[in-house]
Structure 1
Amino acid sequence: MFGGMEVRSILIALDIDRSVVEEAIRKKCQLILVHHPVFFHPVTKIDASNPASSLLIDIIDKRISVYAAHTNLDKLYYDKLATVLGLHNTELLYPAGDMKGSSQAGYGVISRLDEPVPLISLLDMVRSKLNLDFLVYAGDPGIQCSRIAVLNGAGGRFIEDAIAEHGADCVITGDVGHHQAKYASVSGAAVIDAGHFGTEVVMLGFLRDQIADCLTNTRDGKDIRIDISESEQNPMSLFSRTDNE
């Protein structure tokens, strides 16, 4: 953060990349608020030939501050994906004991449906609610699902536990691996992989609204502009034979 700089415009994004930085420059933003940090590993040097370093150089040159809220936001917004999907009657799956100032925080929820629904209906609902072009799934499309585990981002590692220990018959998450999908399938359950981007970008609207509410109670806070990035895109695409036929 650039000390002493007045912030009048904030850009919120899931990741920081070239398109987000250029958008922030166009909109004259003083702060970019992202979920994922620029660097996930220690940096030993700033090299302009490295894409991440090049971004950092441009950010510093334009005097734009960057703040990343990563796992703390995951824990605080543990139920937001389920909210967007319209799933109610939820319970926190994995409580976090290290979140000060929050009575309930953690990772993931499990929702109990009033009536079982077939997996194919859940697939259609998730794709529609998250406005996605495609989904990846494992399991029989006709199986009936009534206990739905929902975990944003890289929730694949929790699939076995959600099914075996929490009785989930369907897990909605992102970044699902082969063996995790296979476990769900042979267990008679299902997995819907809506992608890391698809399951987390939905948090940004909640973050914008929460910041706006906080700023309303501060002097001149209502005059601060808060935008969700319009240029950020899902990095994943689906290729099929019909794309070239």
Structure 2
Amino acid sequence: MFANGQTIAQLMEQLAPKHYAVEGDRIGLQLGTLNKPIPKVLVALDVTDEVVEEAIREGANLIVAHHAIIFRPLAKIDTSTPAGKLYEKLIKHDIAVYIAHTNLDVTDGGINDWMADLLGIAQEGRASLEDVHMDKLFKLVVFVPESHSEKVQQALWNAGAGTIGHYDHCSFVIEGTGTFRPGEGTNPFIGEQGKLERVKEVRIEMIVPHSIHRGAIQAMLKAHPYEEVAYDLYPIDLKGRSVGLGRVGKLEQPVTLGELAERVKAAFEVPFVRVVGELKAPVRKLAVLGGSGAKYVRHSSFAGADVLVTGDIDYHTAHDALAAGMMIIDPGHNVEKIMKTRVAEWLTAKLAERKSTTAVVYSVLSTEPFQLI
């Protein structure tokens, strides 16, 4: 059975939650409808005319891409312009376009982590160059009969609650006595209508991040035996987990700048890179950022990185970095193409778990606009 487009969007938002996106970023559904069965998805970096033709040949009626096709509100759609012709072709062939951009950059296991993995940045101590989103923390308190304490705790843990730093399954339980009187029309798990009951209960307290609080509450309510569940959810003044742009960390093995440049070329399958710095200089700590990262040179230096690997470095930024002793490797913006295979693999696995027959393929076309002559 084919998955619905809305289901695929929900899966993408598990990988790259929409609230992780930088403010003003154009993400999500940009054209068409998701309210339809999807026989095939095409994953692409850019949505060009050639990529749309590829989708038509493949029989894909949804393109999941990284770069947006609509950047600002449209005053009109003129089908004599390149953009207008693109929109017209997509609409005529009933191909929807869904975008995951900066939310896919910053998410754990997204583009910046894929870049870091390919270049050998160790997992331990790896951090973002700039925080974009911090998950607010809440305290969930629920009152449960003793007989169901373990069941409710387990349901909350399974939903992702109860994590503090690198510790999980964290909770606090206090024993006490609960009182209630079931009214007319109730069907109480314990007690009788009109009769005051005193029941041995436990108070369970658990930390719940804002990003999962709805799912955690639903899981708790499903596991709880009462018709009317007494629970509280309130914010706490503690910092939650943050996600951000770029990654920085120590290399698993130190290399020279020249060796790292060759590694970058091989990892991202690019014919050349632009390098700022002495090729024999040692590199122990590395920063990476997919796309345009010129404004993150200072962030990288402040984080203690020897080198920043990013795209679209301009002349003056290169001179400033050189003067400050910061090295740069610029493999271009198009290295973000690594998202094509990885998103396709991720979606394929998630759809298989749902026993969906929707196929996911990735674009084999290069959308690199530059040629080296």
Give the TM-score normalised by the residue count of structure 2.
Answer: 0.60
- Matches of 1:153 and 1:207, distance apart in 2: 17
Among candidates 91, 99, 105, match of residue 127 of structure 2 = 91
- Quote the offset at 1:103 in angstroms: 4.9
- Matches of 1:115 and 1:209, distance apart in 2: 29
Q: Which moved more, 1:100-109 or 1:142-151?
A: 100-109
1:182 maps onto 2:218 in alignment: no
- Greater Cα radius of gyration, structure 1 or 2: 2
**Any idea what SS the aligned residue of 2:254 has?**
strand
1:171 maps onto 2:202 in alignment: no
1:114-140 deviations in Å (ceiling 9; x for gaps): 553211111111101111111111111
Question: Between Structure 1 and Structure 2, how many residues are aligned?
Answer: 235
- Quote the offset at 1:46 in angstroms: 0.6
Task: Report if aligned partners of 1:20, 1:232 keep a CA contact under 8 Å in 2.
Answer: no
- Matches of 1:37 and 1:98, distance apart in 2: 25
Q: CA RMSD in A?
A: 1.8
- What are structure 2's unaligned runs of at least 5 residues? 1-31, 136-210, 213-239
Task: Report if aligned partners of 1:10, 1:31 keep a CA contact under 8 Å in 2.
Answer: yes
- Matches of 1:145 and 1:187, distance apart in 2: 16
Partner in structure 2 of residue 70 of structure 1: 101
Partner in structure 2 of residue 61 of structure 1: 92
- Matches of 1:19 and 1:98, distance apart in 2: 38
- Quote the offset at 1:95 in angstroms: 2.6
Among candidates 256, 279, 282, match of residue 141 of structure 1 = 279
Aligned AA (2:41): I
- Matches of 2:241 and 2:288, distance apart in 1: 20
Partner in structure 2 of residue 230 of structure 1: 364
Task: Report if aligned partners of 2:134, 2:242 keep a CA contact under 8 Å in 1.
Answer: no
- Quote the offset at 1:232 in angstroms: 3.1
Partner in structure 2 of residue 208 of structure 1: 344
1:129 maps onto 2:267 in alignment: yes
Among candidates 63, 66, 81, match of residue 115 of structure 2 = 81
- Matches of 1:127 and 1:3, distance apart in 2: 38
**Any idea what SS the aligned residue of 2:367 has?**
coil
- Matches of 1:110 and 1:139, distance apart in 2: 18
Aligned AA (1:201): K
- Quote the offset at 1:87 in angstroms: 2.5
- Quote the offset at 1:3 in angstroms: 5.1
1:131-166 deviations in Å (ceiling 9; x for gaps): 111111111112111111111111111012211x11
1:96-127 deviations in Å (ceiling 9; x for gaps): 32574595521111121355321111111110
- Matches of 1:19 and 1:103, distance apart in 2: 40
1:45 maps onto 2:183 in alignment: no
Aligned AA (1:31): L
- What are structure 1's unaligned runs of at least 5 residues? 240-245
- Matches of 2:289 and 2:261, distance apart in 1: 15
Partner in structure 2 of residue 160 of structure 1: 298
**Any idea what SS the aligned residue of 1:134 has?**
coil
- Aligned ranges for residues 86-125 of structure 1 at < 5 Å? 86-89=120-123, 90-97=126-133, 100=211, 103=241, 105-125=243-263
**Any idea what SS the aligned residue of 2:47 has?**
coil
- Matches of 1:74 and 1:36, distance apart in 2: 11
Runs of 4+ in 1 over 3 A off after TM superposition: 98-104
Task: Report if aligned partners of 1:32, 1:65 keep a CA contact under 8 Å in 2.
Answer: yes
- Matches of 2:298 and 2:267, distance apart in 1: 25
Change (3 A) 1:60 1:179: same
Q: Which moved more, 1:98-107 or 1:58-67?
A: 98-107
- Quote the offset at 1:212 in angstroms: 1.6
Change (3 A) 1:153 1:119: same
- Quote the offset at 1:44 in angstroms: 0.9
- Matches of 1:115 and 1:213, distance apart in 2: 32
- Quote the offset at 1:93 in angstroms: 2.4
Give the TM-score normalised by the residue count of structure 1.
Answer: 0.89
Partner in structure 1 of residue 222 of structure 2: none
Aligned AA (1:92): S
1:57-105 deviations in Å (ceiling 9; x for gaps): 0100111111011111111113111112232242232233257459552
- Matches of 1:98 and 1:13, distance apart in 2: 29
